[in-house]
Amino acid sequence: MKDIFSAPFIREMGKTASNMYRLGWDERNGGNISYRLREEEVGEYLDLGKVIREIPIGFDAPSLAGEIFVVTGTGKYFKNVEDDPETNLGVIRIKKDGKTAELLWGYKDGGRFTSEFPAHMMSHMARQSVDPESRVVMHSHPTNLLAMNYVHELDEAKFTHTLWEMCTECIVVFPEGVGVLPWMLCGTNSIGEATAAKMKDFRVVVWALHGVYGAGKTLDETFGLIETVEKAAQIYMLIGSRPRLNTIKDEDMVKLVELFGITNYRKDFLKL
């Protein structure tokens, strides 16, 4: 059996959490990550027949039965994940009943997965229904995107259009746009269900006045997705109150998606 601390998925989680903390996206214990793993990759590092303890997940997830995830812990600080992954992360498997998680490794201080676990698992189910390769759900509080929530209309089409105008790459990186939810109580099944509904159409969902959810195939891809949205929001917050002399035209955005062969962009979010 290989050393779990050398597992790519553990090392990647630590590196990603450190980067998110360094950028100011995940202050204190803010933010959480879940990463769906393949049984064969986990089996190289853990005895899959050894369950440390069971943890109720608080909702029914029958379609995730048997799925394995590495998940950040509740109350844990992202700055500590890389140095102490066994305390701050847990590798869990959803039981056949779809209601219980089996802890296979981690949470060594008796902890458990993030309080946003329902929103993560519901989002995984939603994304897998439209993209079976989707494996990552990431929640963070990017500073400029959060600031933008207070000064911009929280209308999906308008919010997305503004972000697309900020960087040439934006419509290429998130052509489906950005979903937006009103402020909701976090850590509940209700916000999980609302997020999952949006995740069927968007890989990025803004939780108004709170943060953002992103989904992707890899940790790098998902990090880069949120990073691009945050960069666009930063530019908007720098120039939004000033007279705009230049902008990326909608017809130029169409040229961009055509150049890259992108067909799933939200035409209805453009003013053509």
Stretch 105-134: mean pLDDT = 95
Q: In this predicted structure, what is the pLDDT of residue 22?
A: 96
Residues 145 and 63 in one domain: no
Percent of the chain, pLDDT > 90? 94
Q: By the 8 A CB rule, do 148 and 237 touch?
A: yes
The pLDDT, as a whole number, for residue 174 is 98
Q: What is the mean pLDDT of the chain?
A: 96
| Residue 135's CATH number | 3.40.225.10
pLDDT at 172 over 90: yes
Same domain, 82 and 165: no
Residue 45 contacts residue 2 (beta carbons within 8 Å): yes
Where among 115, 140, 175 does a domain terminate?
115
Number of H helices, E strands in the chain: 11, 9
Q: Are residues 132 and 81 in the same domain?
A: no
Domain boundary among 115, 143, 176: 115
Tokens of 214: 């992103």
11 pLDDT above the threshold of 90: yes
Single pTM value for the model: 0.94
For helices 219-239 and 143-151, angle between their N-to-C axes, nearest 10 degrees:
50
Which pLDDT score is estimated for 79? 96
- Contact between residue 63 and residue 125 where contact means Cβ atoms under 8 Å apart: yes
Q: What pLDDT, on the 0 to 100 scale, is given for residue 218?
A: 98
DSSP of 22-74:
HTTSS-TT--EEEEEE-HHHHTTTS-TT---EEEE-SS--GGGTT-EEEEEBT
Whole-number Å distance between alpha carbons of 229 and 226: 5
User: Which residues constitute the domain of residue 105?
Assistant: 1-115
Looking at the structure of the chain, the number of domains it has is: 2
Distance of CA 248 to the CA centre of its chain: 27
pLDDT in tens, 24-50: 999 999 999 999 999 999 999 999 999
Query: Pick from 65, 254, 89, 108: which is nearest to 171 by CA?
Result: 254
The two structure tokens encoding residue 175: 């052509």
Q: Is 116 a catalytic residue?
A: yes
Catalytic residue, from 12, 67, 82, 116: name it: 116
pLDDT at 58: 87
Q: How far is CA 16 from each of CA 8, 136, 260, rounded to the nearest angstrom?
A: 12, 12, 28
Q: Quick check: 35 and 136 in contact, CB under 8 A?
A: yes
- Mean pLDDT score, 182-195: 93
Residue 272 — pLDDT band, cuts 50, 70, 90? confident
Number of Cα atoms under 13 Å in the Cβ half of residue 202: 25
Q: Give the pLDDT band (50/70/90) at residue 187.
A: confident
Residues 79 and 122 in one domain: no
CB 217 within 8 A of CB 133: yes
CB atoms within 10 A of CB 209: 12
> Quick one: angle between helices 189-199 and 117-130, nearest 10?
20
Do 202 and 222 lie in one domain? The reply is yes
